[in-house]
């Protein structure tokens, strides 16, 4: 009798472990489908960025962005600020590398040179916005850099969503975890909660303005709010082009410094 009960207990434990493993695998697959939802060789955008202070005052910036994967699958993106004059000519380059730390550089006209952004600066504010350097690549972050769990399924503004918790494997990362609401049908991520190392809700990212562009469902509005500070930054895409040719020379520090492709 004891041996029988022992075998039953072992079977139950084994089933629970298998279910937990499959649960994690499903959660990772959902995140991966969301982050790699849009298939395109390149993405080019022109956007408006509105920075809202706690007192309600706002400032606006215009920027262009170009993204393209290299032959090794590294995701590269360049942001070029066009106006106002105080930020015009500022250029930022990031290279996301699977299973490795991202490389980032910025060119500030006031300095007149390209500066590499250290990994330890990932939590710093990007150009005085609510985005940190890490936040700029959060929605395309390599799935394997985190451990994912399916918390539940629920409706968000009438949309059936998976709610996934992601915990960075690198404990030095600025967030202890982030929770994503992902559309069960389209894999669009509508909301992401970002928690600091103390477990407090630090920031909230919300995506909206879904439009079909070149056959791809595309969020055209991204808003990030810093909860404690009462501030937010909203990026609205005015123009977006998929698969538009982007020269390789754009993704170099030479381009950052000169603004010209060689």
Hey, what domains does the chain have and what are their CATH numbers? 33-258 (2.50.20.10)
pLDDT of 73 > 80? The answer is: no
What integer pLDDT is reported at residue 98 of this predicted model?
A: 73
71 falls in which pLDDT band (50, 70, 90)?
confident
The whole-angstrom separation of Cα 176 and Cα 12 is 32
Strands (E), 118-200: 146-156, 159-168, 177-183, 189-195
Task: Kindly indicate the confidence band of residue 3, based on its pLDDT and cuts at 50, 70 and 90.
Answer: low
| Average pLDDT in the chain | 90
**Cα-based distances in Å from 12 to 19, 23, 150:** 10, 16, 21
- Model confidence, pTM: 0.87
């Amino acid at each position: 009798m004891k041996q029988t009960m022992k075998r039953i207990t072992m079977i139950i434990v084994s089933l629970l472990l298998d279910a937990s493993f499959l649960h994690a695998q499903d959660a990772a697959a959902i995140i991966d489908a969301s982050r790699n939802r849009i298939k395109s060789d390149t993405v080019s955008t022109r956007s408006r960025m509105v920075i809202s202070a706690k007192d309600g005052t706002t400032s606006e910036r215009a920027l262009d962005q170009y993204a393209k994967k290299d032959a090794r699958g590294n995701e590269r993106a360049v942001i070029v600020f066009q106006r106002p004059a105080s930020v015009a000519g500022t250029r930022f380059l990031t290279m996301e590398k699977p299973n490795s730390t991202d490389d980032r550089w910025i060119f500030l006209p006031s300095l007149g040179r390209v500066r590499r952004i250290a990994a330890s600066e990932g939590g710093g504010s990007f150009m005085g916005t609510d985005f940190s350097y890490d936040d700029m690549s959060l929605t395309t972050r390599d799935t394997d850099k985190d451990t994912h769990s399916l918390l539940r399924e629920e409706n968000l503004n009438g949309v059936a969503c998976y709610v996934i918790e992601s915990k960075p494997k690198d404990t030095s990362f600025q967030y202890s975890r982030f929770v994503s609401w992902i559309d069960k049908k389209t894999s669009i991520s509508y909301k992401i909660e970002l928690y600091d190392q103390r477990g407090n809700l630090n920031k909230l990212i919300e995506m909206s303005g879904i439009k079909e562009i070149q056959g791809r469902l595309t969020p055209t509005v991204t808003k990030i709010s810093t909860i404690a500070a009462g501030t937010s930054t909203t990026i609205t895409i005015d123009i977006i082009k998929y698969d538009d040719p982007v020269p390789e020379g754009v993704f170099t520090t030479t381009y950052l410094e000169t603004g010209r492709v060689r």
